[in-house]
Amino acid sequence: MGIVLNKSEKAAVAAQGYAISVLPGTVSNAEAGEGCPRAIYHNPKTGQEFRLLADPGNMKGYQMRGLRLGPAPPDLHYEPPTVDPADAHRPTQDLTDEQNKYVAFLKGLSTLGG
């Protein structure tokens, strides 16, 4: 079975020599050297948007991971975190006093041995 073209695709072939149609919601910047068109996907839980490849294989993988095609709805507005997550793991007290006590302890041990 051959490839069947509709009227608009036949017109595109006659005008351009090819009938590659752009998927709805995809964007591509040919001047920037982007070969494969990209699409905007969003995480339906957080609203975070991603600009990812729009070929069928990748699209299926993104959907399996929970991403949805198209921009996020206005009620899901993603705000990047304003607090550095590493701050939760930084020590809250000054450790120089502890270090000084430990050095004094080690010096005391060295005097015992000799």
User: pTM of the predicted model, to two decimals?
Assistant: 0.44
Question: What integer pLDDT is reported at residue 29 of this predicted model?
Answer: 56
In a domain, 35, yes or no: yes
User: pLDDT tens, 54-69?
Assistant: 878 888 899 899 999 8
In a domain, 8, yes or no: no
In a domain, 87, yes or no: no
Supply the range of the domain harboring residue 52.
Answer: 24-79
What share of the chain has pLDDT > 90, as a percent? 4
In a domain, 43, yes or no: yes
38-49: string of b/e by CB count within 10 Å (b at 16+)? bbbbbbeeebbb
Angle, CA 94 vertex, CA 92 and CA 96 arms, to 5°: 150
In a domain, 4, yes or no: no
In a domain, 109, yes or no: no
User: pLDDT tens, 12-48?
Assistant: 777 776 666 555 555 555 555 556 778 888 899 888 8
For residues 49-58, give the mean pLDDT.
84
In a domain, 105, yes or no: no
Domain count, the chain: 1
In a domain, 37, yes or no: yes
